[in-house]
Structure 1
Amino acid sequence: MHEAIAKADTLIEAMGWIRRFRGKTTVIKLGGSVLDDKDALMHILLDVIFMETVGMKPVIVHGGGKAINRALAEENIEPKFVQGRRYTDQATLEVVRRVLAGEVNQQLTEQIEHLGGRAMNLSVHTTNVLFGEVLKLESGEDLGRVGKITQVDRDVIEGLLYTDQVPVIPSVCEDGDGGVLNVNADTAAMAVAQALGAEKLVFLSDVNGVRRDKENPDTIIHSLSESESKAMIGNGQIASGMIPKVEACLETLDRGVGKVHIIDGRLRHSLLLEIYTSEGVGTEIYKDLNI
């Protein structure tokens, strides 16, 4: 009986958050180690289905770098990176298109349906919603067929949300000439969140959030303002690979998204715990109230 009462208490705690976010759009960026962990991925997709069931409007934007690397190895194509971005020649682009916009995108959609949800894959193979242009680096270095998003077809995405389906979008876009461009998944998720005016953008990571001591997961900071985040970058508390993640969060806040979250996608039901509990399990970054 005590266990049953504890479950009821948890539902009561969640009720306030469910009412608050009902009808709101949340963009979830999937990628990296999470896509390779079948058990973690299943629980994330169950969380997404729960979110849709209780009235939220989740949108998935995904990468798939590890799957692409495996496919390139099978084709004897050596990966090349320029300033942390995958150099994409025509041969690499064909693999990216097949794996990311085809196999991974279809698998995610089918798994959501298998778990009892409703989903629709939106890619260059079906209905494309991401459009862009070739990305040019300030250094002048060539990235090949790598792009940046300049337009998102929000009408198609919102149409699916209105019919209680989960849009599943790969980080690949079309250019103005009908060609295809490879896009960084973080920046693709940011573009979608901004276009939809999302309440939340969630980056599923392999760390539990921003930490005061980057080596100690127990020092996680659950809530950070924009100014606090900038100060921590300035004094070195936020360092190395966490810097671009936090800077991406801050840029997204500047473009109208309500809050951005960094959470550990490997933690079971981390999405639900972050959104529907008072404390959360990751780091929530929000815009300063006086700005």
Structure 2
Amino acid sequence: QRLGIEARFRHGVRVTDEATMEIVEMVLAGKINMEIVDLLNRHGGLAVGLSGKDGGLMLSRPLTAKAWAASLEKDLDDGEGDEDFGLVGEVQSIDPTLVRKLQQDHYIPVIAPIGTNREGNTYNINADLVAGAMAAALGAEKLVMMTDVKGIRDANGRHLSTVSRKDVQRMVKKGTIGEGMLPKVHACLDALGGGVSKAHIIDGRIPHAILLEVFTRKGIGTEITS
């Protein structure tokens, strides 16, 4: 807002032009990443800031509107035709070698969702989608998505404590799951498809949210099973 650049979203995806991309990289890989690293370190962790560009961590490619529609199994007929998302990318592949080395030495990697292709072009990738792809690449047992809502709700607005992957896919197709939740759900489905056993969407504002979700019978968010 201070720079006079209006944020524009299309079906949960931030449309990114060159001017916006420069700011996104500066903020995500710089300011926000460093703030998270500092908070973790001040609370006893050993955090290291990275982006998808570091150490060949993440290869990306442009995300087209057609590919996004296909991944959600729905039609994006919103009057904008086949207009794409600009410099928005998707994960093409992940080499988890660097992250594994950091984990072996007990460091916590904090990864900014900025990727590059083989030609060196930079792309803004949705952080949820990066998390899902990273969980699959690392062979994680769980993926936990922290947000500011309780989890997934059904068509009647009821919170769902546990739901299957197939049920979520049906809800996406019917439009039950809103645009703001689509990238998170898509990331969870990607992770489950990549071998992760369970994915969780929880309200990160609740104290001890991860512990309550993982170690109590009903949890506090939505658990998606494969």
Cα separation, 1, equivalents of 2:149 and 2:207: 13
Q: Kindly report which structure 2 residues correspond to 1:253-264, keeping only aligned pairs within 5 A, or say none.
A: 253-264=192-203
Report deviation, 1:263.
0.5
Partner of 1:103: 31
Alignment pair present for 1:78 and 2:6 = yes
Q: Deviations over 1:25-63 (max 9, x none)?
A: xxxxxxxxxxxxxxxxxxxxxxxxxxxxxxxxxxxxxxx
- Please identify the structure whose Cα radius of gyration is greater: 1
Cα distance change of structure 1 residues 240 and 144 upon mapping to structure 2, 3 Å threshold = closer
Q: Kindly report which structure 2 residues correspond to 1:3-14, keeping only aligned pairs within 5 A, or say none.
A: none
Q: Kindly report which structure 2 residues correspond to 1:1-291, keeping only aligned pairs within 5 A, or say none.
A: 73-123=1-51, 127=55, 129-138=57-66, 140-212=82-154, 215=157, 219-230=158-169, 238-241=176-179, 244=182, 245-287=184-226
Question: Could you tell me whether the CA contact under 8 Å between 1:124 and 1:173 is conserved in 2?
Answer: yes
Cα distance change of structure 1 residues 80 and 243 upon mapping to structure 2, 3 Å threshold = closer
Gapped regions of structure 2 (runs ≥ 5): 67-80
Cα separation, 2, equivalents of 1:87 and 1:230: 24
Report deviation, 1:214.
5.5
Q: Deviations over 1:115-171 (max 9, x none)?
A: 111111112676562221122222531322111111212010111111111110011
Report deviation, 1:243.
6.3
Cα distance change of structure 1 residues 202 and 95 upon mapping to structure 2, 3 Å threshold = same
RMSD between aligned residues: 2.4
Cα separation, 1, equivalents of 2:124 and 2:114: 5
Cα separation, 1, equivalents of 2:174 and 2:116: 40
Aligned residues: 211
Q: Look up the equivalent residue of 2:126 and give its one-letter code.
A: N
Cα separation, 2, equivalents of 1:154 and 1:85: 25
Cα separation, 1, equivalents of 2:215 and 2:122: 38
Report deviation, 1:87.
2.0
Cα separation, 2, equivalents of 1:125 and 1:239: 32
Gapped regions of structure 1 (runs ≥ 5): 1-72
Question: Could you tell me whether the CA contact under 8 Å between 1:273 and 1:281 is conserved in 2?
Answer: yes
Report deviation, 1:93.
0.9
Cα separation, 2, equivalents of 1:143 and 1:247: 17
The alignment's TM-score, normalised by the length of structure 1, stands at 0.65
Q: For 1:263, what is the secondary structure of its paired residue?
A: strand
Report deviation, 1:213.
6.5
Report deviation, 1:248.
3.9
Q: Deviations over 1:218-240 (max 9, x none)?
A: x433222234444555777x433
Cα distance change of structure 1 residues 213 and 109 upon mapping to structure 2, 3 Å threshold = same
Cα distance change of structure 1 residues 243 and 204 upon mapping to structure 2, 3 Å threshold = closer
Question: Could you tell me whether the CA contact under 8 Å between 1:122 and 1:129 is conserved in 2?
Answer: no
Cα separation, 2, equivalents of 1:116 and 1:189: 23
Question: Could you tell me whether the CA contact under 8 Å between 2:12 and 2:181 is conserved in 1?
Answer: no
Question: Could you tell me whether the CA contact under 8 Å between 1:171 and 1:182 is conserved in 2?
Answer: yes
Q: For 1:120, what is the secondary structure of its paired residue?
A: strand
Cα separation, 1, equivalents of 2:173 and 2:20: 37
Identity of aligned residues (%): 38
Q: For 1:204, what is the secondary structure of its paired residue?
A: strand
Cα distance change of structure 1 residues 220 and 82 upon mapping to structure 2, 3 Å threshold = closer
Question: Could you tell me whether the CA contact under 8 Å between 1:210 and 1:242 is conserved in 2?
Answer: no
Cα separation, 2, equivalents of 1:162 and 1:230: 36
Q: Look up the equivalent residue of 2:208 and give its one-letter code.
A: H
Cα distance change of structure 1 residues 279 and 189 upon mapping to structure 2, 3 Å threshold = same
Cα separation, 1, equivalents of 2:9 and 2:201: 25
Cα distance change of structure 1 residues 177 and 162 upon mapping to structure 2, 3 Å threshold = same
